[in-house]
Amino acid sequence: MVQSAVLGFPRIGPNRELKKATEGYWNGKITVDELFKVGKDLRAQNWKLQKDAGVDIIASNDFSFYDQILDLSVLFNVIPERYAKYELPLIDTFFAMGRGLQRKATETSNAVDVTALEMVKWFDSNYHYVRPTFSHSTAFKLNGQKPVDEFLEAKALGIQTRPVVVGPVSFLHLGKADKDSLDLAPLSLLEKLLPAYIELLKKLAAAGATEVQIDEPILVLDLPQNVQDAIKATYTKLGQEAGLPKITLASYFGTVLPNLAAIKGLPVSGFHFDFVRAPEQFEEVAAIVGDDQVLSVGIVDGRNIWKNDFKKSSDFVNKAVAKLGKDRVVVATSSSLLHTPVDLENESKLNPELKGYFSFATQKVAEVVVIAKNVSGADVKAALDANAASISARANSTFINDSTVQSRIKAIDAKLSTRQAPFPQRLNEQVEQFHFPLFPTTTIGSFPQTKDIRINRNKFVKGTLSPEEYEKFINSEIEKVIRFQEEIDLDVLVHGEPERNDMVQYFGEQIKGYAFTTNGWVQSYGSRYVRPPIIVGDLSRPEAMSVKESVYAQSLTKKVVKGMLTGPITCLRWSFPRDDVDQKTQAFQLALALRDEVNDLEAAGIRVIQVDEPALREGLPLRSGAERDSYKVWSAEAFRIATSGVANKTQIHSHFCYSDLDPNHIKALDADVVSIEFSKKDDPNYIAEFSNYPNHLGLGLFDIHSPRVPSTEEFISKIDTILKSYPAEKFWVNPDCGLKTRGWEETRLSLTHMVEAAKHFRNKYTK
């Protein structure tokens, strides 16, 4: 029979139990045992859910208290000395690597002060992993045996699982050399690392695991020959090793075709590929599946929320069955379901028609089972009929088409995406208007989202706080933030974004064509979860979305207040997009909506407007080539459509985080000032790349994902380093992202130190 498989299930819990537990532990509210208990319960719950749904192959080790790649770093002892030296309990070392740790000395413990490791986007998703960081002194060994423990935990519940672990080549390739070992190529450590993997696999086998899923997601990237060779060598070697479980080699988020030579003929028991993202690879990958190998067909989308089309999927899987036979085909999710919300049943407020078109992780589990049954020949007619009816209802739904939006899209021309004058002339007009000092200071927009803010917002949403009272509350928050910024003497102020639950959701809720959930949380990083809105139809902006708050903020101060918007690409990327229209069209629709907003802000007297595009980088197609080149062009055009309606003297800012961005791509946005993540970059070449960037640039100076407070001296030395390869006259001073996840105390201190450092250089350079 054709089996069903789920590559991983969201670990956050149906009601964000994981967030509450981890944050409770960090704040000292619960003990480590209580934390572990929550983890254990969540795992049990997820396994049972899948078991009850009838899934044949259920993953274990898909759980993590922070990030599964960080788990691996700790498991294989890839723990830089700056963390190891404190000899903290392993779980605390783990969290310190993930989020930094700053702790005063107590009677029983020494002071700790260490920054977090770099965090990077997981492929083209909005999930972030903690980057494995290797050095010459890295000594691989097994620290504990998390995958084994979790396998045994499931086994004790009577559930046989398939442990999942990211493979050694991806682990190394996705990592980087630590600052003390910049000459180290992580991949050169492969031979030293492999014995630790083998030891782990043997332990899993001894515990009773018959099969493991090893992910090499890098197979969907452009891989240099040496990396391809490493894949080949690794799995050849594992194939020769006796006493290991069977291995399914898995990849997702794209096509593996360019790396096919590296995987062809490998002695593994099966392959898993993503046919949602890359159906076109089918014939060629099916051709390399050997006579005794299994093909796991990823056909239920692990990255989006649309209901699966059973007929289409079954037809697809049947191609594999025809070729390989029922026993050598598995129906699977395309990737882990980590990237989808937990359960559609938790949505009580969704429009019922729309709800009928969606499928979250729990529903996807059931979908995999139905498709597997269907292609096995079981009678699932009722499910098929209901599915077909729903799929055709969506295609004809009135939620989808808006002819006004469609004709606006048709009318887009080059003029619409071009500012009146080129940057040098705009700059002159802006300098004349603003007279900003050298090293102007600003923030990225949000200020701490305090408990008070969340409580009031919840009351407002529930209706226990009237719109007038809520507005009054928001205004008082804005005033607090404005006074604070004046007090510490920042140059360009922001209103602090207290009214925004999330930078995309807030706009999504005001844009027609969007649906949003009340409980559709997805992990973004650590304990930060987001609730991506869902694009269901053509998009437009019925009314101004942000003007009121910006205008109020500006009315409170003589300093310039920057208006804050989320850009079209980020609105698109951090939503669940439509799957019936291409992404460019959706981005352009958003760009037109935002253009209306930018123009309204300007008309209301806002002279600096920031349009954030933190997702610009993650939208980049994973491989080089025509698709990627075209993305760079249309994504930049979308940004310019949004921002080109303003006068020369209106200053357009943009912001990116975690960005290994192509400077030419940034240049094509033609923003007057951009701020970019920099606090965790140690590579001097990275700054050099931007020294030719024509417009102005703020290199994010401190890591807002960590509660750690950098000292003034630290800021000064950082700026000094940057000034070696970046000119003072284009230099803006800012944190590397918004401060919404931080507390007030660390925010006050960090920003004060940052402004002091800017003034230090201002004096130095104006003497």
CB of 655 to ligand MET, least distance (A): 6
Of 426 and 740, the one with the shorter C-beta distance to ligand MET is 740
Tell whether residue 612 is among the known ligand binding residues: yes
Distance of CA 446 to the CA centre of its chain: 18
Q: Is 119 in the site for Zn ion (CB under 5 A)?
A: no
Binding residues for ligand MET, rule CB under 6 A, total 12
Distance of CA 747 to the CA centre of its chain: 24
Tell whether residue 571 is among the known ligand binding residues: no
Compose the 690-729 pattern: x for residues touching Zn ion by CB under 5 A, - for all others: ----------------------------------------
The question of whether 653 is a catalytic residue gets the answer no
For residue 640 the two structure tokens come to 């310019």
User: Which of helix, strand or coil describes residue 606?
Assistant: coil
| End-to-end CA separation in angstroms for the chain | 80
| Angle (deg, nearest 10), helices 68-75 and 90-99 | 130
**Identity of the amino acid at 418:** T
CB of 678 to Zn ion, least distance (A): 11
Of 10 and 568, the one with the shorter C-beta distance to Zn ion is 568
Q: Is 612 in the site for ligand MET (CB under 6 A)?
A: yes
How many Å apart are CA 469 and CA 485, to the nearest integer? 25
How many Å apart are CA 749 and CA 709, to the nearest integer? 7
Of 153 and 613, the one with the shorter C-beta distance to ligand MET is 613
Q: Which residue in this structure is represented by tokens 């037109």?
A: 592
Tell whether residue 677 is among the known ligand binding residues: yes
Q: Is 614 in the site for Zn ion (CB under 5 A)?
A: yes
CB 91 within 8 A of CB 32: yes
Tell whether residue 19 is among the known ligand binding residues: yes
Of 344 and 737, the one with the shorter C-beta distance to ligand MET is 737
Which of 128, 495, 705, 753 is catalytic? The answer is 705
Candidates 657, 722, 733, 739; binder of Zn ion (CB under 5 A) is 657
Tell whether residue 471 is among the known ligand binding residues: no
Compose the 682-721 pattern: x for residues touching ligand MET by CB under 6 A, - for all others: ----------------------------------------
Print burial letters for 159-196: b (CB count within 10 Å at least 16), e (below 16): bbbbbbbbbbbbbbbbbbbbeebeebebbebbeebbeb
Side-chain-side CA neighbours of residue 537 (13 Å)? 20
| Angle (deg, nearest 10), helices 68-75 and 146-156 | 110
Q: Is 572 in the site for ligand MET (CB under 6 A)?
A: no
Of 211 and 677, the one with the shorter C-beta distance to Zn ion is 677
How many Å apart are CA 272 and CA 687, to the nearest integer? 39
Of 114 and 503, the one with the shorter C-beta distance to ligand MET is 503
Candidates 655, 665, 681, 705; binder of ligand MET (CB under 6 A) is 655
CB 359 within 8 A of CB 309: no
How many Å apart are CA 680 and CA 700, to the nearest integer? 9
Compose the 729-758 pattern: x for residues touching ligand MET by CB under 6 A, - for all others: --------xx-x------------------
CB 131 within 8 A of CB 177: no
Tell whether residue 574 is among the known ligand binding residues: yes
Q: Is 661 in the site for ligand MET (CB under 6 A)?
A: no
Per CB under 5 A, the segment of 395-403, 450-458, 594-602, 610-618 that binds Zn ion is 610-618
How many Å apart are CA 276 and CA 332, to the nearest integer? 11
Tell whether residue 446 is among the known ligand binding residues: yes
CB of 657 to ligand MET, least distance (A): 5
Per CB under 6 A, the segment of 37-45, 258-266, 440-448, 461-469 that binds ligand MET is 440-448
Of 2 and 609, the one with the shorter C-beta distance to ligand MET is 609
Tell whether residue 737 is among the known ligand binding residues: yes
Pick one of Zn ion, ligand MET, none as the site partner of residue 364 (Cβ within 5 to 8 A by kind): none
Of 100 and 614, the one with the shorter C-beta distance to Zn ion is 614
CB of 502 to ligand MET, least distance (A): 9
- The CA angle 415-417-423, to the nearest 5 degrees, is 100
Q: Is 444 in the site for ligand MET (CB under 6 A)?
A: yes
Q: What distances in angstroms separate CA 44 from CA 7, 256, 585, one per listed residue?
A: 16, 33, 42
Which residues, numbered 734-753, are part of the site for Zn ion (CB under 5 A)? 737
How many Å apart are CA 110 and CA 317, to the nearest integer? 58
CB 46 within 8 A of CB 64: no
How many Å apart are CA 501 and CA 530, to the nearest integer? 10
Q: Is 508 in the site for ligand MET (CB under 6 A)?
A: no
Which residues, numbered 547-566, are part of the site for ligand MET (CB under 6 A)? 564
Beta strands in 362-509 (DSSP E): 492-493
How many Å apart are CA 54 and CA 2, to the nearest integer? 13
Q: Known binding site for Zn(2+): residues?
A: 655, 657, 677, 737
Q: Known binding site: residues?
A: 19, 126, 444-446, 497, 574, 612, 655, 657, 677, 737
Binding site residues, Zn ion, CB under 5 A: 614, 657, 737
What residues are labeled active site?
705
Binding site residues, ligand MET, CB under 6 A: 444-446, 503, 564, 612, 614, 655, 657, 737-738, 740
Q: Known binding site for L-methionine: residues?
A: 444-446, 497, 612
